Amino acid sequence: MPPVALLPSLSSEPAMSLELHPHPPSPQYDEEEKASPSSSSSSASSPAAEDARPFLRRSASAAGGGGRSRRRRTVSEPSLRSLSSHTSRGRSLGRDVGHAAAETFLLTRLAITLLRYLGVGYRWITKFLALICYATLLMPGFLQVGYYYFFSSQVRRSIVYGDRPRNRLDLYLPTKVDGLKPVVAFVTGGAWIIGYKAWGALLGRRLAERGIIVACIDYRIYLIGQSAGAHIAACTILDQAIKECGERECTSWSVSQIKAYFGISGGYNMLELVDHFHSRGLYRSIFLSIMEGEQNLWRFSPEVLVQDSSIKHAISLLPHVILFHGTSDQSIPSTASKKFVDTLHGVGAKVDIVLFEGKTHTDLFLQDPLRGGKDELLEHIAAVIYGGVAAAHAHISVAPLPRRLVPEFMLQLARKISPF
């Protein structure tokens, strides 16, 4: 499988618009949409805007074709080299500290938004206390990942890909930038409320060490979604496939530009999961508010939608779907992925599932990478991207073996008290 790197242009052309639905009708969206028009123009001369200057150019194949042409963009070797050199020049401690302060402010806003949704209740309070203990135990690893995120020359943070305030992504670059590289777009989890691109820092680092460019999107390519992000990404792909089969408006990207979709610990039938989430502390009233009402649950349930005979032609456009799930996941049971796989098989889609015996909701995404050494999930992903186990091992062998970031006893204790 030849690596193809496809990303939205950051030039003055219309940016690719990923319609990541559903989104919570939280106060932060209202505040951002009410921002004055002058804010975007004034930011053009700021250091952050300078960081977001165009570095990707359209490939020659994009110029030709008629009718429903599909634009493809290639990350070339010179552009990657110039990007890498740009990150090593002009970086100052003051700018890095300023970025860190801005990110911290945004995280605080997201936390306040979550608190406004959840309110106060016994079940939520116990989970909040468990979360504090969980984060404290994993803090040695979080601090090291945070340092990498804010100060590594291989990370480009908050690149603008659209005209809305949260249309930002983080880019993780391999150390070697020779030749074309495969690209992964990652949509993180966050209970559909506090999804944030920095949550993907650990995954981005590990994949970049294996020669893969990773774009962590803030809510053409390989697409990865985790937890709520897996659901959002699945909804986005299916919605785009339906658009391409009908007479709906044209968009700036195509499902054919996505080679594979990886769903990690996701849920795909909201009609069946709403009561489960309620029992876990994501109360029914809150969840229905996020999903824009009970009447819309079916619209945000890919497992239900693909069974509609009126969209059967859209199924043939879907990329290869690979789902990963731990069998001990309590936040979203592994049966959610199993049922979605069975349904996709039934309608003729290309789909596979990998179940990790005894793994929880956070094992695959947090505890296992923090443990260092061999990572089974990443090896599965790399095998698909590079077209086979042997080819993947050739790329992995040149990457340094990840070191342990958190002592084992702390990982085990955090696993036991995890609220997820």
Q: What is the C-alpha separation between 22 and 285, in angstroms, rounded?
A: 15
- Residue 155 DSSP symbol: E
Q: Rounded CA gap, 330 and 49, in Å?
A: 42
Residue 22: cis peptide before it, omega within 30 degrees of 0: yes
Residues 9, 26, 158, 227: which is the catalytic one? 227
What one-character DSSP code corresponds to residue 352?
E
Collapsing DSSP to helix, strand or coil, 347 comes out as coil
Please choose, from the candidates 143, 210, 136, 212, the residue with its C-alpha nearest in 3D space to the C-alpha of residue 180.
212
Please give the Cα distance from 166 to 26 (Å, whole number).
13
DSSP letter at 257?
G
Residue 131, H or E segment: helix 122-137
Active-site option among 99, 231, 325, 361: 361
C-alpha to C-alpha distance for 47 and 100, rounded to whole angstroms: 14
Residue 373: count other Cβ atoms within 10 Å of its Cβ: 10
Q: 358: helix, coil or strand?
A: coil
> One of 329, 363, 368, 375 is an active-site residue; which one?
329
Active site annotation includes 361? yes
Could you say which DSSP state residue 185 is in? E
Active site residues: 227, 329, 361
